[in-house]
Amino acid sequence: MDWQTLIDEPAVIAAAVLVLGLVVGYLVGRLNEELLTASGVPEAVEGTPFERTAQSLGTSTVEIVARLSAWFIYGIAVLTAIHIAQLLDTDAFWLRVTEFIPQVFVAVLVMIVGFIVADKSELTVGEYLRSVKLPQVALIPKLVKYSVLYVALVVALGQVGVHVTALLILLAIYAVGIVAVGAYAFKDFLVSSAAGIYLLLNQPYGIGDRVRVGDQTGIVQEVDLFVTKIEDDSEEYIVPNRKIFEDGIVRVRD
């Protein structure tokens, strides 16, 4: 048999593609693992439930992501090989598969990243709120977690072509609600902090000055972003900085 005819044989080319795919897939997997490790991903995901689940299954987040990319390439190689060997002669099927596989890959990746980001933000928010000793506060980290998960789910479903319009509307209502309630609830804080920034930068009055705000007179004890503390002989007024801009402040010099 001639070499030329051997190379032209579809089965041989398919086998070569398969081998090449396996090698490239393995290398990409390893490279991804190295890159993710070098960029500090293991430290970033440490302690998240996703990582812990992965650990209990004898693997890790980095390994899962690296394997995923490797399997993605294996899959392409196998499909290409099948196509070349003409084992399945269905062009339509082929076309849809090539479109669908990358989408599934991205969707799975989005879900993994979503899970990790959700867990991580739950941990971070929980840590931040730990000093607040109020039982109900434990709800906030959970809320953050599921919000992130929801967004990841919508993105992932959108990626694989499921109709997500209804979910998007829900998300929009949720986001608008949070912004509206937040803006309303923190309106006074925002105004006060804007005034506070000016007071801190320009210091029209400082600690130790005798001042009058409205009908309260006293010595300034503290100026921070939101409030100014003014102390009389026995009374300490905590005046929101917003009020200082509205009423003006009188520096008493004697």
Partner 1 sequence: MAGLDDVFGDLFSNVDGVALFSPSGSYYERFADLEDVEVIVVGTENDVGASTFVELPLEFEDISDRIRFGLEGALDQEIIDDGDTLACATSVFGDDIDTVSRVRADADNHTGIYDLFARSRADPEVVKSVLELAIELGQKGQKGKPVGALFVVGDAGKVMNKSRPLSYNPFEKSHVHVGDPIVDVMLKEFSRLDGAFVISDAGKIVSAYRYLEPSAEGVDIPKGLGARHMAGGAITRDTNAISIVLSESDGLVRAFKAGEIILEVDPEAY
- Interface with partner 1 by CB under 8 A: which residues? 200, 203, 206-210, 219-222, 224, 229, 231
Closest distance of CB 114 from partner 1, Å: 31
Closest distance of CB 241 from partner 1, Å: 15
| C-beta separation of 113 from 50 below 8 A | no
The residue among 151 and 227 lying less far from partner 1, judged by its C-beta, is: 227
The residue among 148 and 223 lying less far from partner 1, judged by its C-beta, is: 223
The residue among 46 and 231 lying less far from partner 1, judged by its C-beta, is: 231
Closest distance of CB 250 from partner 1, Å: 16
Could you give phi then psi for residue 106, rounded to 5 degrees? -65, -40
Closest distance of CB 111 from partner 1, Å: 34
The residue among 50 and 205 lying less far from partner 1, judged by its C-beta, is: 205
The residue among 71 and 226 lying less far from partner 1, judged by its C-beta, is: 226
Sheet holding 210-213, edge to edge: 236-240, 227-231, 216-223, 210-213, 249-251
The secondary structure of the chain in percent helix, strand, coil, rounded to multiples of 5, reads 70, 10, 20
| C-beta separation of 213 from 230 below 8 A | yes
Distance (Å, rounded) from C-alpha 17 to C-alpha 15?
5
Closest distance of CB 200 from partner 1, Å: 6
Query: What token pair was written down for 106?
Result: 């991205």
Q: Which of 193, 197, 223 is nearest to 208 (CA)?
A: 223
Q: Cα–Cα distances in Å, from 34 out to 193, 208, 228?
A: 46, 59, 53
Which residues fall within 8 angstroms of residue 61, CB to CB, at 6 or more apart? Answer: 41, 42, 45, 50, 51, 54, 112, 116
The residue among 130 and 142 lying less far from partner 1, judged by its C-beta, is: 130
Closest distance of CB 125 from partner 1, Å: 20
